[in-house]
Protein backbone atom coordinates (compact mmCIF):
# COMPACT_ATOMS: atom_id res chain seq x y z
CA UNK A 1 0.00 0.00 0.00
CA UNK A 2 2.84 2.37 0.85
CA UNK A 3 4.58 1.66 -2.45
CA UNK A 4 1.31 2.43 -4.27
CA UNK A 5 1.03 5.74 -2.45
CA UNK A 6 4.64 6.57 -3.33
CA UNK A 7 4.02 5.76 -6.99
CA UNK A 8 0.93 7.96 -6.96
CA UNK A 9 2.93 10.82 -5.44
CA UNK A 10 5.61 10.38 -8.10
CA UNK A 11 2.96 10.58 -10.83
CA UNK A 12 1.45 13.69 -9.23
CA UNK A 13 4.92 15.23 -9.01
CA UNK A 14 5.60 14.58 -12.70
CA UNK A 15 2.23 16.05 -13.71
CA UNK A 16 2.73 19.13 -11.54
CA UNK A 17 6.24 19.67 -12.96
CA UNK A 18 4.86 19.51 -16.51
CA UNK A 19 2.24 22.09 -15.56
CA UNK A 20 4.87 24.18 -13.74
CA UNK A 21 3.03 24.00 -10.43
CA UNK A 22 4.46 23.91 -6.93
CA UNK A 23 5.56 20.44 -5.77
CA UNK A 24 6.29 21.31 -2.12
CA UNK A 25 3.38 19.27 -0.70
CA UNK A 26 4.28 16.23 -2.79
CA UNK A 27 7.84 16.38 -1.48
CA UNK A 28 6.54 16.82 2.06
CA UNK A 29 4.35 13.70 1.88
CA UNK A 30 7.15 11.65 0.32
CA UNK A 31 9.46 12.77 3.15
CA UNK A 32 6.87 11.76 5.77
CA UNK A 33 6.53 8.29 4.23
CA UNK A 34 10.30 7.84 4.02
CA UNK A 35 10.73 8.88 7.67
CA UNK A 36 7.96 6.49 8.70
CA UNK A 37 9.62 3.60 6.85
CA UNK A 38 13.00 4.45 8.37
CA UNK A 39 11.52 4.45 11.89
CA UNK A 40 9.86 1.09 11.31
CA UNK A 41 13.05 -0.40 9.89
CA UNK A 42 15.13 0.87 12.80
CA UNK A 43 12.64 -0.59 15.30
CA UNK A 44 12.80 -3.98 13.59
CA UNK A 45 16.61 -3.92 13.46
CA UNK A 46 16.71 -2.93 17.13
CA UNK A 47 14.41 -5.82 18.08
CA UNK A 48 16.33 -8.40 16.04
CA UNK A 49 19.66 -7.45 17.62
CA UNK A 50 18.36 -7.31 21.19
CA UNK A 51 18.33 -10.01 23.84
CA UNK A 52 14.54 -9.75 23.93
CA UNK A 53 14.35 -11.38 20.50
CA UNK A 54 16.38 -14.35 21.72
CA UNK A 55 14.18 -14.61 24.81
CA UNK A 56 11.07 -14.52 22.63
CA UNK A 57 12.41 -17.27 20.36
CA UNK A 58 13.20 -19.41 23.40
CA UNK A 59 9.71 -18.95 24.89
CA UNK A 60 7.97 -19.73 21.61
CA UNK A 61 10.23 -22.71 20.99
CA UNK A 62 9.24 -24.23 24.35
CA UNK A 63 5.51 -23.94 23.61
CA UNK A 64 4.41 -27.53 22.93
CA UNK A 65 0.90 -26.52 21.84
CA UNK A 66 2.28 -24.28 19.11
CA UNK A 67 4.75 -26.89 17.90
CA UNK A 68 1.94 -29.44 17.70
CA UNK A 69 -0.06 -26.97 15.62
CA UNK A 70 2.60 -25.73 13.16
CA UNK A 71 5.29 -28.43 13.35
CA UNK A 72 8.97 -27.84 14.01
CA UNK A 73 9.84 -24.16 13.99
CA UNK A 74 11.89 -23.08 10.99
CA UNK A 75 12.14 -19.36 11.55
CA UNK A 76 10.71 -16.06 12.70
CA UNK A 77 9.72 -12.99 10.71
CA UNK A 78 8.86 -9.56 11.97
CA UNK A 79 5.96 -7.80 10.31
CA UNK A 80 6.62 -4.12 9.77
CA UNK A 81 3.24 -3.14 11.11
CA UNK A 82 4.40 -1.32 14.17
CA UNK A 83 2.36 1.69 15.18
CA UNK A 84 4.30 4.90 14.51
CA UNK A 85 3.13 6.36 17.83
CA UNK A 86 4.68 3.38 19.66
CA UNK A 87 8.01 3.97 17.93
CA UNK A 88 8.02 7.66 18.82
CA UNK A 89 7.10 6.91 22.44
CA UNK A 90 9.55 3.96 22.73
CA UNK A 91 12.28 5.82 24.64
CA UNK A 92 9.81 6.78 27.39
CA UNK A 93 7.37 3.87 27.07
CA UNK A 94 7.15 0.95 29.49
CA UNK A 95 5.75 -1.53 26.91
CA UNK A 96 6.01 -2.08 23.15
CA UNK A 97 4.11 -4.53 20.94
CA UNK A 98 5.45 -6.33 17.87
CA UNK A 99 3.82 -8.82 15.48
CA UNK A 100 5.98 -11.90 14.87
CA UNK A 101 5.27 -14.61 12.30
CA UNK A 102 6.47 -18.04 13.37
CA UNK A 103 7.22 -20.30 10.39
CA UNK A 104 6.71 -24.00 10.99
CA UNK A 105 6.89 -27.12 8.83
CA UNK A 106 3.14 -27.27 8.31
CA UNK A 107 1.84 -23.75 8.89
CA UNK A 108 2.54 -20.14 9.76
CA UNK A 109 1.31 -18.49 12.95
CA UNK A 110 1.20 -14.80 13.83
CA UNK A 111 1.84 -13.82 17.41
CA UNK A 112 1.64 -10.51 19.23
CA UNK A 113 4.68 -10.11 21.46
CA UNK A 114 4.57 -7.45 24.15
CA UNK A 115 7.84 -6.42 25.70
CA UNK A 116 8.24 -4.31 28.79
CA UNK A 117 11.05 -2.86 30.81
CA UNK A 118 11.75 -2.53 34.46
CA UNK A 119 15.01 -0.58 34.16
CA UNK A 120 15.96 2.02 31.51
CA UNK A 121 17.86 -0.45 29.30
CA UNK A 122 16.38 -3.77 30.48
CA UNK A 123 13.63 -5.06 28.17
CA UNK A 124 11.95 -8.44 28.77
CA UNK A 125 9.07 -10.33 27.15
CA UNK A 126 5.84 -9.49 29.02
CA UNK A 127 3.36 -11.60 27.06
CA UNK A 128 2.94 -13.61 23.88
CA UNK A 129 -0.55 -13.90 22.39
CA UNK A 130 -1.90 -15.53 19.25
CA UNK A 131 -3.29 -13.07 16.74
On whether both 117 and 57 belong to a single domain, the answer is yes
In the predicted model, is pLDDT for residue 86 greater than 80?
A: no
pLDDT in tens, 45-60: 887 888 888 888 888 8
CA separation (Å) from 71 to 64, 67, 75?
Answer: 10, 5, 12
Count: domains in the chain? 2
User: What is the pTM (predicted TM-score) of this model?
Assistant: 0.64
On whether both 20 and 74 belong to a single domain, the answer is no
In the predicted model, is pLDDT for residue 9 greater than 80?
A: yes
In the predicted model, is pLDDT for residue 80 greater than 70?
A: no
On whether both 3 and 43 belong to a single domain, the answer is yes
In the predicted model, is pLDDT for residue 81 greater than 60?
A: no
On whether both 30 and 17 belong to a single domain, the answer is yes
Amino acid sequence: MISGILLLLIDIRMARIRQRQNIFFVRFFVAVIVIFLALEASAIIWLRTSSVYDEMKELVGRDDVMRAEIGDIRGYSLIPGINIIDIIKAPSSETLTFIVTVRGERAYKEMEVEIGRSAPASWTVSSIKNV
